[in-house]
Amino acid sequence: MTKEIKTRSAVKVIAAFAVVAAVVLLGAGAAATLRAQSGDDKYSLTSPGGIAFSDFRGYEDWSVVSSARTEDVLKVIVANPAMITAYKDGTPGNGQPFPQGSMIVKLQWKPKKSTEAPFVVDVPDTFKQVFVMEKNNKRFPKTGGWGYAVYNYDALANKFSADPTALQDCGQTCHVVVKAKDYIFHPYQKR
């Protein structure tokens, strides 16, 4: 009889543990789902030209290609692994185009003078914009195989939005001057 009670107790403990574990796992999954559905989900955006921001998921961790500076904007250019591999293999200088699926992103900030550095240096201040390019000859045959989109960031609202004035070929006008470099301005910088 004691053995039967011990077995029942063990089964109850295991069952209780399984229920608690399931509740914890479901709770975590539900919380993640709620977080993804609420607020500003930039990856739910699509540009007027049909380029989904979700195609660039993970761009925050892509490798740096180069940087640039205008009077108004600091820029960091990053690319997905396929494009970085092509750069390292010599594209576009080797006469080869970037492979299908290559993606490059230009992150843009309003600059400010550093108040901490012991020398004069501009650093990023307010994040402004994400400019994206995606290589897909079938989807973008009229623009050298590249699709272009711009996603603006509103710091006050903490939200991204697809730029309503930027059609999929908005970047083509500027990038056509570097057609011989497969429409890419920035080389992979030596490091």
Separation between Cα atoms, residue 38 and residue 153, nearest integer Å: 17
Rounded mean pLDDT of 26-43?
A: 46
Q: What is the pTM of this model?
A: 0.76
* 102 Cβ contact list (under 8 Å, min separation 6): 79, 80, 82, 83, 86, 134, 135
| Residue 76 amino acid letter | V
Residue 18 in this model has a pLDDT that exceeds 60: no
